[in-house]
Homo-oligomer: A and B are copies of this chain.
Amino acid sequence: MATRPTLGQLGLDTGKKARLHRILHQHGLRNGTALFLPYDQGFEHGPRDFFANADASDPKYIVRLALEGGFNGIVLQIGLAEKFYWDFAGELPLVLKLNGKTDIPSDAHALSPVHASVADAVRLGADAVGYTLYVGTPAQEQDFVQYRRVRADAQRLGMPLIVWAYPRGAAIETKGGKDSFYAVDYAARVASELGADVVKVNFPHPKKQSGVPDQYTATFSSQDAIDAVVRSANRTMVLVSGGAKAGDDAMVDKARQSMAAGATGLIFGRNVWQRDHDESMRFVARLREVLAKYDSAP
């Protein structure tokens, strides 16, 4: 429906445009779409995420997977970026994830502390930084304060800023939950209002309506919902997240609907590496087929 915004329409400074051009037009399908491999689950969930495929515990295996799979970038926390990106530096864009947390304590006042700076990303040759913003958390004051510093540094250093816009916290649980259409739509808008260059969202669930505002209690299809989310993001490019591992056909369908809505790309982790190497490659090939249909001019 909506057309994907091209880089020329986003009012970007030179450094941000140069780096996003590298990601979108010099890697992956080189057609303006993007497929990212996130690898911070060992931090966010712990090593249990690697029990399904023990190889996935090794960061080197994952970076290689991203290269072989023709991804547009890999997402790492500072520790793994410093220890494992050197081997492949320059071969694959690096997105340095700047904040993160364990899932051990309660999420009721969720906040994701910053572990690295935009200057670290520059030092490591990264092409973008990632920041998790917990939209709706009671700790939003602290979250916004640290986000503001990241945004200002990214602006100053010409570094594209990808915001993981995640509804979270006690209040959102009583208003539809974290992947309701209401919550995801609001989160996409917040990222745009606060200056994200790219926003990562979960796929919205229009049927989760318990406690949501009236406007979201009508009947919406999945396509209606993702269309609205992309519209709410306006000139912020949208990446749709894979989330926990699910059936391949369902995932590919989500991908298609997202791209049809005007998303710029996909960011799939566990769905990719929680299986053996060759299955991973086969699944990635199906995602690339979808993306190939959405060529956009640089």
Q: Which residues of A contact B (CB under 8 A)?
A: 10-11, 40, 42-43, 46-48, 51, 57-59, 77-80, 82-84, 86, 100-102, 104-106, 111, 113-117, 120, 135-138, 140-142, 144-145, 147-148, 151-152, 167, 169-172, 175, 182, 185-186, 189-196, 213-216, 228, 231-232, 234-236
Q: Are A193 and B144 in contact (CB under 8 A)?
A: no
Q: Which residues of B contact A232 (CB under 8 A)?
A: 42, 47, 57
CB distance from A163 to the nearest CB of B (A): 10
Count of this chain's copies in the oligomeric assembly: 5
Q: Are B11 and A83 in contact (CB under 8 A)?
A: yes
A101 with B140: in contact, given A78-B194, A213-B48 (CB under 8 Å)? yes
CB distance from A234 to the nearest CB of B (A): 6
Which of B46, B171, B194 makes the CB contact (< 8 A) with A115? B194
Q: Which residues of B contact A213 (CB under 8 A)?
A: 46, 48
Q: Are B102 and A140 in contact (CB under 8 A)?
A: yes
Name A's interface SS: helix
Q: Are B141 and A104 in contact (CB under 8 A)?
A: no
A48 with B216: in contact, given A192-B79, A193-B42 (CB under 8 Å)? yes
A171 with B106: in contact, given A100-B193, A216-B48 (CB under 8 Å)? yes
A11 with B86: in contact, given A138-B106, A196-B79 (CB under 8 Å)? yes
Q: Are B169 and A105 in contact (CB under 8 A)?
A: yes
In the complex, the chain B residue whose C-beta lies closest to that of A123 is: B155
Q: Are A105 and B171 in contact (CB under 8 A)?
A: yes
Assembled-state Cα–Cα distance A143/B182 (Å): 29
